[in-house]
Structure 1
Amino acid sequence: MLTTYTLAEGRVLSQDGLLPPESLRQAVWIDLLNPTPEEERAVQGALRLEVPTREEMQEIESSSRLYREDDVLFLTANFLYGVEGGEYGSTAITFVLASQSLVTVRYQTPRAFAVFALRCQKNPGLVASPDGVMLHLFEQIVDRLADILERVGSDMDRASSAAFRSARSSIKANKRDADLREALITLGQVGEVTTRASETLLGLTRILTFVGAEKATAVRKENQALIKTLVRDVRSLVDHAGFLNNKANFLLDAVLGILNVEQNNIIKTFTVASVALMPPTLIASIYGMNFEYMPELKQGWGYPAALALMVVSALLPILYFRRKGWL
C-alpha cells in the first residue's frame, strides 16, 4: 500500500495508491506499507533512489542499516508494534530521507504511525519538510513508548502486589496458585515488552546519532533543536526501560521463589505423612506374616496392643518433627 502526504495551500492532502511521477515528487512523505513491486518501482523511478528490500532491512550490521548515498540518508531500525492487541513484536522500518521527500518502508503498523497520520491532518506544519516529518514521527514514537512503559510499569506493580498479597493470605491453595501463575505470566510479558522497547530505543539512539552527525546537510536549521530534545528523551526512556526490566527480573525471581516455597511445603507434607506411616506399616507387616508360632496372635490383648503400637509409632515422628520446627 502506497500513501502520499502532500502539503498544498496550508492543508495536508493524503492519497492512497499509485500516482503519476510528478505527484510522487511533490509529496513530502511517502509511506510504503507492504509495498508491491509496482509501487517500489514507481517510487524509485520518480525519486531516483533505491528502496531497500525486506531482506536488506533485516540485516543487523550498522553499515547496512545506517548509510548515505549522495544526498540521501538510509536509516533502518526495529520498532515495537502491537502492544495494544497483545500480539506484539518488533519490525524493521526504513526511513529514506531525501532533500524533497521522506520515504518510509514498513511491513507492520506501529500505533505511532497511525496517530501521527491523524495529527498531520490537524497540524499541517508537521509535514512542512521531509526531515521535519521524520523527526516529528520519531517524537510520536518516543511519546508512544513512554506511554507503553508507564502502562507496563503499572501492570507490573499490580501483579507483584497481587502475588505477595496472595502469598501472605490464607486463601485456598488453588486460588493462590492461580494468582501466582497470573503474576508470573504478567511479569513475563512485562519483561518481553520492555526488552523490545529497549531495542526500539537503541535503534532510535543510533539513528539520531547518525542524523546528528549529518545534520548540517540533512536537517534544516529550524528542526535541528528537535534532535537534541529527542536524544534527551530517548536517554531518559532507556534508563527507565532498564529500571523496569531489572525490576521485572527481580519480581520474577521473587514469584518463582514463592512458588518453590509452596511446592516445598506440599512435598514436606507428603514426606512427613510417608515417614509417619512407615512404622505402622512395618508393624502391620510383621503381624501379617504367616508364621505358625506367633504367641501374640492367640492373646486377647494382641489386636488392641498392635493397634496401639501402630498409633504410637505414627505419633512419635510427628511429635519429633514438631519439636524440630519442621511442621
Structure 2
Amino acid sequence: MIERLTHHHLTWIDVLDPTAEEIREVMAEADIPLSFTDDLTSMTPRTETYWEKGAIKTTLDFPIVKRTDINHPHEVKFIATKNYLVTIRFEDIQSLDQFKKDFEVVTLLKRAGAKATGGHLLCTLVMRMYKALDSKLDYLAGILQDIDAGLFDEREKEMVFDISRAGQRLTAFRQALGAHDNALNDLYTNIAKAFAKSYQPDVLKINEQYLHLIRRVDRQRQTLAELREANNALLTTKQNEIMKTLTIVAFTTFPLTLFASIFGMNSVNMPIIGHSLDFWIILSAMLVVSVGFFAYFKYKRWM
C-alpha cells in the first residue's frame, strides 16, 4: 500500500508491505537509483547505509517491547532524494503513523531561508522515531519498578519469571539498537557526499539521541541484574530457612521414633514395660527429650 503526503515541493511516500509493482512505481516517481532497489520487497537481517549523488538509503531495525515477538524488530528502509523521502516498512509502526499527523507542522519544513529536502525529512523522521523509543524504555522502567516491589511482597518465585521476561525484552532492545552504530556512522559520512556537509549536524543530534538510548537501556539492564541478584538471595535465604526447619524437625523426631521403637521390641526382659505406669513413664521421657531438643535449638538460635 502506498500513501503520499506532500508539503510544497517535498513529498513523503510511505509504502507498507510493498509489491514489486509498487516498488517500480515509486522508483520512477522518486527517481530512486537502481542500486537501492535490490531488497525493497523483503526484510533484511542487517542495518546499513548506502549513498549515491543526490540520494541516500539507510535501513534500521526498531525494537519491539510490548508484543510477544520481541525478537523480530520493526524494519524501516529510508530513501531520501532531493524532493522525496520514501519509507518502506512491513507492518504498522505507531511513531511513524504519528509523524504523518504532524507532517505539515514539522518545524524543519517551515524554517525561514532553508529549502527542505528529502535528506532533511529523513533526519527529522529518524530523530522522531528514536525519541519514541524513550516511551518504550519508560514502559520497561515501570516493569522494573513492579519487580522491585514484588521482591519484598513474598512473591520471589513469581519474580523469577518476571525478571526473565524483562531480561529478554531488554536484551532484544539492546541488540536491535546496537546494530545501528555502524549505520549511523555511515549516515554521518555519506549524507555529506549525497547532499552537503550542512546535513551532518542533524545526524550528530540523531547520534546523541541514539547514545542516550543505549546508556539508558544499559542502566536498566544493570538494574535488572541487581534485582535478579537480590531475588536470588531472597530465594536462597527462604530455602535455607525451610531446610533448617526440616532438619530441626527430623533431628527432633528421629530420637523419639528410635525411643518408641526400642520399647516396642518384642523382648522378654524389657525395662519399664510391665510397670503400672509404663505408658506414662515412656511418654514423659519422650516429652522431656523433645523439650530438651527445642530448648537447645533456641539456645543456639537455630529457631
Give me the whole-angstrom Cα distance separating, in 2, the residues matched to 1:149 and 1:101. Answer: 32
Alpha-carbon distance in 1 for matches of 2:141, 2:168: 12
Q: Which residue does the alignment assign to 2:130?
A: 142
Contact 2:64 2:173 in 1 (8 A): no
Is residue 5–residue 12 contact of structure 2 (8 Å, CA) maintained in 1? Answer: yes
User: What does residue 169 of structure 1 align with?
Assistant: none
Correspondence for 1:15: none
Q: Distance in 1 between matches of 2:43 and 2:91?
A: 16
Between the aligned partners of 1:117 and 1:203, the Cα distance in structure 2 is 26
Find the aligned partners of 2:25 and 2:158 in 1 and give their Cα distance.
50
1:120 aligns with 2:96: no
Which structure is richer in relative contact order (CA contacts within 8 A, separation 6 or more)? 2
Give the alignment's TM-score, normalised by structure 1.
Answer: 0.76
Distance 1:277 1:73 in 2: 80
Match for residue 230 of structure 1? 206
Equivalent residue for 2:64?
81
Any stretches of 5+ residues in structure 2 without a counterpart? 111-115
State the partner residue of 1:170. Answer: none
Deviation at 1:126, TM superposition (A): 4.6
- Name the residue aligned to 2:6: 6
Q: Which residue of 1 aligns with 2:170?
A: 194
Matched, 1:133 2:127: no
Aligned CA RMSD, in angstroms, stands at 3.0
Residue ranges of structure 1 left out of the alignment (5+ in a row): 10-26, 167-175
2:14 alignment partner in structure 1: 31
More helix by share: 1
TM-superposed CA distance for 1:142, in Å, is 1.9
Query: Do the aligned partners of residues 55 and 203 (structure 1) sit closer, same or farther apart at CA in structure 2, a change above 3 Å counting?
Result: same
SS at match of 1:28: strand
Is 1:273 the counterpart of 2:249? The answer is yes
Which of 70, 78, 83 is residue 95 of structure 1 equivalent to?
78
Deviation of the 1:241 alpha carbon:
1.8
In 1, the alpha carbon distance for the partners of 2:195 and 2:283 equals 93
**194-203 or 248-257, which moves further after superposition?**
194-203
Alpha-carbon distance in 2 for matches of 1:260, 1:200: 34
Q: Do 1:135 and 1:226's aligned partners in 2 also have CA atoms closer than 8 Å? A: yes
Q: Secondary structure at the match of 2:181?
A: helix
Distance 1:192 1:126, change over 3 A: farther
Work out whether 1:249 is the aligned partner of 2:221: no
Do the aligned partners of residues 325 and 151 (structure 1) sit closer, same or farther apart at CA in structure 2, a change above 3 Å counting?
same
Q: Provide the rounded CA distance (Å) in 2 between the counterparts of 1:113 and 1:56.
A: 17
Segments of 4+ moved more than 6 angstroms: none
Q: 2:23 aligns with which of 40, 60, 74?
A: 40
Give the paired residue count: 293
Contact 2:108 2:124 in 1 (8 A): no
Given the superposition, is the C-alpha separation of residues 190 and 218 from structure 1 closer, same or farther in structure 2, using an over 3 Å criterion? farther
CA contact (8 A) 1:211 1:218 kept: no
The offset of 1:315, in angstroms, is 3.0
Q: Aligned residues: percent identity?
A: 23
Q: Distance in 2 between matches of 1:203 and 1:56?
A: 15
Structure-2 change in CA distance of 1:53 and 1:300 (3 Å): farther
Contact 2:147 2:163 in 1 (8 A): yes
Q: Are the aligned partners of 1:82 and 1:110 in contact in 2 as well (CA < 8 Å)?
A: no
Q: Summarize deviations over 1:98-143 as a string: whole Å, max 9, x none.
A: 3443332222333321221221144385594221222111111221
Letter in 2 for 1:133: L
Distance change in 2, residues 1:147/1:69 (3 Å): same
What CA distance in whole angstroms lies between the structure 1 residues aligned with 2:109 and 2:257?
A: 84
How far apart are 1:263 and its partner, in Å? 2.2
Please tell me the residue identity of whatever aligns with 1:67. Y
